Structure formats: structure tokens, C-alpha cells
Structure 1
Amino acid sequence: MLGYIRRRFSSGDVQGEGEEGEQQQQQQPSQTPQPTPPPPPQPQQQQQQHQKTSATSFFSRRGPSPSAPTSPSKSASSSALTNPFASGSGGGGGAGSSGGSAGFASQIGLSRSIFGKAHAYNKDRCKTLLVIDEPHTDWSKYFRGRKILTDYDIRVEQAVFADIRLTANTRFGCTVELMGSEGQQADGKSARSFKPDFVLVRQHVRDADKDWRRLIIGFMHAGVPTINSAMALFNCSERAWLFAHLAQIQSRVGDDNFPLIEQNYFPCYQDLEFKLRANRSTNFLDVTVAQDNFPMAMKIGHAHSGLGKIKISGPDEYRDVSGALAVAGTYATTEALVDAKFDIHVQKIGAYYKAYARRSISGNWKANVSSAMLEQLNMTDKFRQWIDEVARLFGGLDICSVETVQHKNGRVFIIEANGSDMPLIGDSQEEDRRAIAELTLSRMHHACSEAAVLAAQRAKSQQPLGDQQQQQQQQQQQKVNGASTPESSDRRRQQQQPRPQQMQNSLDEGDDTMRNLRKTFAGIFGDM
């Protein structure tokens, strides 16, 4: 008995503890008359019992509530699901645990992103939504049970750009195949293919070392609607190009209404050997590196999330970075490094606006990649004007954000903008995801409605030639047989019926003729 207690408290496997305790109880001699224990369960019964235990622990446990800046959904769900399904490792249930988890997932119909099984939907009446995002967020739960076009279910497929294979056709749309390395996905399932009806893009189209714009071109080539639009995603995938459009907004509405920071652009590393500093008095470009231009921030190529950004404090560092940029083979931009009091993040999701102040508590000049304290701000008219101007770019941005910094002297500078891949921050990330899901449902419903109307028009215009010839032959046959409309028949009947005036004229003409004949005959016979 003491050995059993020691083994009980030293074991870390719950299922192994239960099985070992049952074996110890069976080995101990029973001193009181007890009923005969049932025979040991078969492997199949053990698997079913394990599924029931897993289901009970899954529904009884709760993961931690989502908090900033960690992402909710999958991180909490994964921690809540790890212990029940991994408990068979110590009790000799490694393979059985894997099979039990798969069977349990199929029974309760969880999403594909967790177990590789999609939630239940009507295969005959469903529309497919492709969500391109990192796996830390399970987007299928936001669309489970939702419908569009009255009775169409939503089939959610989620993947990252690296797992997508795409073929596009300008007439028949595109076919997407999801597959990971070695022809399998990350969950071990075989590759699957489908035709997406709508695409939600939450992942960066361009990373520091990856460029997925070729897939965006495929969606646009096939005419698949996306959020944001394919044109907006493509234009927002190049920071310098997007900044040039922000400069056009500034020139149109003025510096006071859109305070964009001044920026220099250098196409290649040779141009970085000289620092161009505008002399506003003479409008002359001075090619000297002035000491009052430091410190500055240099952004190499398409930089985001703090990558590719360098703080330069003096001319020596500037020359060193210029030489290192020779091996990068890309452009660079420089701007003044603002001694910021805090950053301001303004975001727009459909008709929902939010603003946050972000104060760095680590002392890092990159407040967006270091530890920071967040505070939600009131949405002012100035913030709304900035984000609305950005939302009008490239035909409209349904999801976008504006990043600004406030100097210690109170002056505010807009430094960049983001599209549908904008980060979600603060304690209301779950609320933001639900707003994105509602916006996606609305846009998807509208796009599928238009697609149904266009498909009906196309089917009508592409009617088989045999049917058209048959209709033409029937019309010609009706003309030959004299078939006509009721109006034409009445008109013909009226034409055939003689008019009263015409009949009277005919009678008068007949009387005159007979009278003339009588006179003629009377003259002839009278002479005789």
C-alpha cells in the first residue's frame, strides 16, 4: 500500500495513475465479499472511455481570457486541449490517444485549424471563405452557424501564404490547394483543394524575406473578391509606394490636416553616399551631411514590425550603413528621429473607429516592438479625418490603421499606414476580430449576390444555339401559317369588312350605269 501511494504521488500522468491504482486494487486480497470485477476492457473500449474522459475535461476546463498583446483563440484553446489528449503518454496510450483525439474531434465537429476537421456545413449549399492568417487565431469560430444568401453556410478554410498553391482562370475563377512541406499540412492531413468565393487577408503580403504578391495577382486574375481589395493589398505591400500616396494626401489637404513626416528616398546604395537636405529658402539641394540632421531613422526596403529600421546618430554611422546597404540590393528611406512622448495608433474596421496611445516602458526607441503601456483614447475629429483620408486610397480600404508619434513638444507626425494586415492591440482584440468577421460577412454576402446575378446573365447570354434556331423556326412558321396577334387579326377583319359609305357609292354607280343603258337602247329602238 505504501508503494502504491509513493507511485501515486510521483507519477505525473493522470490516466496512468488511474490504471495503476486499478491494478493495485485488483492485486490486493479482498477481505470482505465483493462482486466479481468486470473483465478488463478491450482496446476499442479503452479508446471510447478515453474519448469520454477527454470530452469531459475539455468542456469542464476553461482557458485564460484573452489579453493584450497575446492573441486569443488558439493559444488558449491549445493549452486547454493539450492535457486531455496527451495524457496517454505515460499510460501506454500514445497511439490510442492520437486516435481518440481524432475520433473526439469528429464527434463534436471542431474546426479544421485545431484538429484538421472542418465544422459541419451543408456541402450542397455553402460558400467557401479562405482566411489567410497565422495559426494562432482560429477564425472558424467567428463564422460557425452564420449564413449568407438566406440559407448558405460558410465553409472556412484557414492557411498561411506558404501553404497555398493557386491556379487562376479569368473565366472559371481560381482553384486553391492547401499543402505544407512534403505534400502534407502542418496537422499531418493530406492536401485539399477548393474554389474560394471570398478571401480575408490578415497576414503580411510581404515579410522581411518573403514576397507573396504573386498570390494576390492570382486572386485578382480570377476575380475573387478579397478584404482588402486585391488592388489595395498589392499597393500596400510596398512601404515606399504607400508613403508616396500619403504624401499626395498631404499635398491635397495641407500639412495641418495631414501632418506627414518628411522623408527622403534613395533608390540604391550609391545615392546614400550623400544626404539630401532641402534648403527651403533657396530651393537648393545641399549634398552635404549636416550635423543637425542627426539622429535619424533609416528604413531599408520594405520594413515593418521594427525590421529593417536603424537609428543613426552621426555621420560615421551613416557611412557604415551606406556601405552595408550595398549587399542588400534595395532602396532606403531616411526621416528625422522624433523624440516621442508616445505613439498613437488609429484604426478603422468598417464603420468602427478606435485610437490607442502606446508608451514604451523599456526605453527602446521602437515602441511598437518593445514592452509598452496601452491606453485607449477618445476618437477625435482629427483622428477620424486622418484615417478616413487613408481609407479612400486604392478604391477604398475596409480595414486600415494610421501610425503617428507625438513629440515631447506636442507636435504630432504621421509616420506610416497599414492595410488589412494591421496589428490588433489592446484588451479589445476579441471585439476587433468579431468586427472583422461581421464586415467579412457583409462584404461576402454582397459579392456572392452579385456573382449569382452575373452567372444568371451569363447563362442567359450563352443559351445553346439549337434552342435559338428552334425559336426562330417557330416564328417563321407562324408567319407562313398566318398566325398573328389578336390586334393584327382585328385590324385585318376591319379591313375586310366594307364600309357603309363605300357600299352606298357602289349602289349609286350601279344605278347610273343601268340608266345610261336604258337611254341608249331607247334611242336605238325609237329611231327604228
Structure 2
Amino acid sequence: MSGGRRLLVIASDQDDYISLFRDVTIDGQKIEVEQAEWTHIQLSSYPHAGVVLSLAASTPVGSYKRNQSRIFRPDFVLIRMISHGLPTQDHRNLVYGLQHYNVPCINSLQSVISNFERPNMYGALRSIQQRLGKETFPLIEQYYYSGFQQMAMTPKYPIVVKVGHVHSGYGKTLLRSHQEFIDLASIIALHPDYCTTEPFINSAYDVRIQKIGDHYRAYRRTGSGWKGGVNALEDTPVTETYKMWADECSKLFGGMDILAIDVVHCSETNKDYIIELNECSIGLGKNHEIEDNNIIRDLVVKRMTEAFANKTIEPKQESSTTNAYKSLEVELINLENVKLEIEQSLKKANQKVAFLQGTNSELKKRNNAFFRRGFGFGFTFGVGFSTALLVSYLAYRWKKQ
């Protein structure tokens, strides 16, 4: 195990950040890297021991095998995975655990938590617009309703309604009349969600402005559906306006090192409208994925170096209670690994038993068939032999008479 700083990367198993950070050093020491998806993490936070993670066994990442559970105590975290999306993607409690001990993170945990809900993000964008003006920062107009009872006034139709916090096209619908809006309100009445409405913009294309550290990139995206599903993705020049928008957004929520702004270009007015802000879990364009991941790696090293400047890596003073908790957690991990080995052994044993039972059953069938054939032959032979003896005896008696 490395004596250097410990980095946790929360990312999909399809990505290989362990190889990306291999041989990376900080203050002359190699950093120790672990990667896991949210669903594979359990977390505790202690006053002296810090954040202690229990990482479940999972599929390999690159050449790194993860077939057993592990204990890991991160000094720094890189989040590259949605922490609050669909109901099966609600990992807020894990983020709160990182925040509990104030673990340094990219993006800042304040940023990640603030982006859990759509109104937080929109309110922050609106603060930029209020300072710079509508022409300089053209944020789309948006209405907010805390529940179905408030769903009355709307922008001019057609409108887009977004229900709850989710992104990626979920919970979003296009309405062309007030009657459709009333019908939707009757459905939202069955759920505790808030919703927002905004005017539908007939777009020629949309633009994603990406900023990672000090590096900018812009993509023009076209799609066949009104939601703007990407059919074509191409690089587009990063204008000074795009840079300014990205720089302003990067100052929000205590700092956003990784972000993307979604902009719609209206085909009717030839104007751009800022739709939303996305944080550190953004996807990367395939044509630049390797380069962008290298930029992310260098950014993490920079932030880790800043976070631990003039700080030596010393053993943490831990109370007997904390040590007891740690010992229990390590013991639990060991027991889980033993359990996994036993389950694998039992599985193999069951397979062997099933094979032997099948073999035994086949042998019984063969033996029964052999016995039936042998018994039939023996019975026939016995009857024939007995009959022959009886006939011989009767013939003998007849001759003597």
C-alpha cells in the first residue's frame, strides 16, 4: 500500500481512472487510487479517523481486480458520476457523509449538493443575470410551482414543463395548450414534486460549453426530437462570450472546476438562450475523451497539491472508540470476504453433488435394466431346467413300472 495521499474516484466501472492516475506523485510520493460506483460504497465519518469507506467487490477496472471488499479512507475525491438522478440514482447520503468530514473534492461538495435540485441551479444562474444584465447573460425565463395547486400562470404556449430535479430528458414534456397544462397538473397532483415551465424555443441547434480547469471546449449538437437528442456532435469555436459565461458559472457554489452550460440557439430570433448548468458528472465528447481525461488528471493533481501544501502525512490520533469502530469494520470486511469464498465453495460443491447425483441416477437405471434382464434369463433357465428334471423323473418311474 502506498504511503502517499489517497484519492477516491467515483465513476462508472466502464471508465478506467486507476490507470489514468498510475505513477502520479504528489510531494514525491505515489498517490493511492481507488475507483467505485456509488452503489458499491458504504460510508462512515468519525471525528479523528475521518471518512471510512467500505467498498463492495465489483468487476475489474482495466487490469485492477476488485473481487473482494475493501476498506478505504480518502484524502481527496473526484466525482464523475451522477449523485442524484432517477430514484435508483439517489446517493445524496454518501455526499453528505463526505461533507460531514469536509473532504476536499472536485467539484466542491457545496457545488455538488447545490446542484441536487433544479431551483438551486437556476437561482444561481439568475444571480449572474441580475449582475450582468439579460443581454449579456441571456438566461431563459422560467416559472416555478411548489405543487399542483399553484399551476396556473404560464409562459406563452408552447411551453416545456420539467417535473422535479432530474436531467437528461427525464420528467420533461412539451405542451401546446392550457388544457394540456391542466391535464398535466392533475397528474402531478399524485406526486409531491415541484415543477418548472419555460417557453419552448424552436432551435436550429444547441451548444454545450465545457470548462475543465482553465481549458474550454464547445460543441454544436443537432437532434431530430424537440428534446434535442444528439444526432450529430461537432466542435465549434469557443467565443469570448462562451468563455465569459463559463468563467462566471465556475465561480458559483464555492467553485466549479468541471462544468458544462447548455445553450439553445433560436432559429426564429437568431439568439442564444442559456438553459441549464451541469456539474462534474458531465459526459465527455468521444473525439476528445482521452485529452479531456488527461486534463482532469492534471487538475486533480493541482487541487490535491494545493489542499495538502505544507501538510505532512502523519498517522491520525484516534480514540479507542474510533479504533474499535475501525476494527469492527475491518472484521466485517474480512467476514464478508470469507462469506464470499464459502459461497463460491458451496456453489462448486453443489455443482459436484448435482453431477454425482446425475451419475448415480444413470448407474441405477443401468443396474435396474441389467437386473431385469438377468432375472428374466435366470427365471426362464430355472423353469426350463426344473421341467427337464421332472420329465426325466417321470420317464424313469414309468420305465420301472
TM-score between the two structures when normalised by the length of structure 2: 0.74
Which residue is equivalent to 1:389? Answer: 248
Question: Contact between 2:2 and 2:30, CA under 8 Å: does it hold in 1?
Answer: no
Distance of aligned partners of 1:316 and 1:443 in 2 relative to their CA distance in 1, 3 Å threshold: same
Aligned residues: 310
Any stretches of 5+ residues in structure 1 without a counterpart? 1-122, 278-292, 460-528
Match of 1:447 among 299, 307, 328: 307
Which residue is equivalent to 1:358? Answer: 221
Structure 2 letter corresponding to 1:261: I
Structure 1 letter corresponding to 2:34: E
For residues 308 and 171 of structure 1, the distance between their equivalents in structure 2, rounded to whole angstroms, comes to: 42
Match of 2:92 among 197, 204, 213: 213
Match of 1:263 among 142, 163, 172: 142
Give the alignment of 1:311-330 within 5 angstroms: 311-330=174-193
For residues 276 and 47 of structure 2, the distance between their equivalents in structure 1, rounded to whole angstroms, comes to: 34
Which residue is equivalent to 1:140? Answer: 18
For residues 148 and 140 of structure 1, the distance between their equivalents in structure 2, rounded to whole angstroms, comes to: 16
For residues 312 and 171 of structure 2, the distance between their equivalents in structure 1, rounded to whole angstroms, comes to: 45
Question: Contact between 1:197 and 1:448, CA under 8 Å: does it hold in 2?
Answer: no
Give the alignment of 1:52-131 within 5 angstroms: 123-131=1-9
Structure 2 letter corresponding to 1:144: R
Distance of aligned partners of 1:203 and 1:371 in 2 relative to their CA distance in 1, 3 Å threshold: same
Distance of aligned partners of 1:231 and 1:371 in 2 relative to their CA distance in 1, 3 Å threshold: closer
Q: Which portions of structure 1, spanning 4 or more consecutive aligned residues, are displaced by more than 6 angstroms?
A: none
Which residue is equivalent to 1:192? Answer: 70
Structure 2 letter corresponding to 1:299: K
Which residue is equivalent to 1:414? Answer: 274
Distance of aligned partners of 1:450 and 1:339 in 2 relative to their CA distance in 1, 3 Å threshold: farther
Which residue is equivalent to 2:49? Answer: 172
Identity %: 33
CA deviations 1:444-472 (Å, max 9, x no partner) are: 2222335438x69x99xxxxxxxxxxxxx
2:259 matched to 1:400? yes
2:287 matched to 1:427? yes
For residues 317 and 411 of structure 1, the distance between their equivalents in structure 2, rounded to whole angstroms, comes to: 28
For residues 2 and 234 of structure 2, the distance between their equivalents in structure 1, rounded to whole angstroms, comes to: 47
Which residue is equivalent to 1:156? Answer: 33
Which residue is equivalent to 2:238? Answer: 379
For residues 276 and 320 of structure 1, the distance between their equivalents in structure 2, rounded to whole angstroms, comes to: 14
- 1:316 is displaced (CA, Å) by 2.4
Which residue is equivalent to 2:374? Answer: none
Distance of aligned partners of 1:426 and 1:294 in 2 relative to their CA distance in 1, 3 Å threshold: farther
SS in 2 for 1:348: strand
For residues 233 and 441 of structure 1, the distance between their equivalents in structure 2, rounded to whole angstroms, comes to: 20
Q: Which protein is bigger by CA-based radius of gyration?
A: 1
For residues 411 and 350 of structure 1, the distance between their equivalents in structure 2, rounded to whole angstroms, comes to: 28
Structure 1 letter corresponding to 2:217: K
Question: Contact between 1:398 and 1:420, CA under 8 Å: does it hold in 2?
Answer: yes
SS in 1 for 2:97: helix
For residues 154 and 207 of structure 2, the distance between their equivalents in structure 1, rounded to whole angstroms, comes to: 29
SS in 2 for 1:216: helix
For residues 439 and 170 of structure 1, the distance between their equivalents in structure 2, rounded to whole angstroms, comes to: 29
SS in 1 for 2:90: coil
Structure 2 letter corresponding to 1:443: R
CA deviations 1:397-449 (Å, max 9, x no partner) are: 11111110000031110000011112212511111111111111111222233
For residues 264 and 364 of structure 1, the distance between their equivalents in structure 2, rounded to whole angstroms, comes to: 23
Question: Contact between 2:221 and 2:230, CA under 8 Å: does it hold in 1?
Answer: no
Question: Contact between 1:269 and 1:326, CA under 8 Å: does it hold in 2?
Answer: yes
For residues 332 and 401 of structure 1, the distance between their equivalents in structure 2, rounded to whole angstroms, comes to: 23
Give the alignment of 1:232-381 within 5 angstroms: 232-272=111-151, 274-276=152-154, 293-360=156-223, 363-367=224-228, 370-381=229-240
SS in 1 for 2:5: strand
Structure 2 letter corresponding to 1:218: G
For residues 446 and 414 of structure 1, the distance between their equivalents in structure 2, rounded to whole angstroms, comes to: 33
Structure 1 letter corresponding to 2:67: K
Which residue is equivalent to 1:19? Answer: none
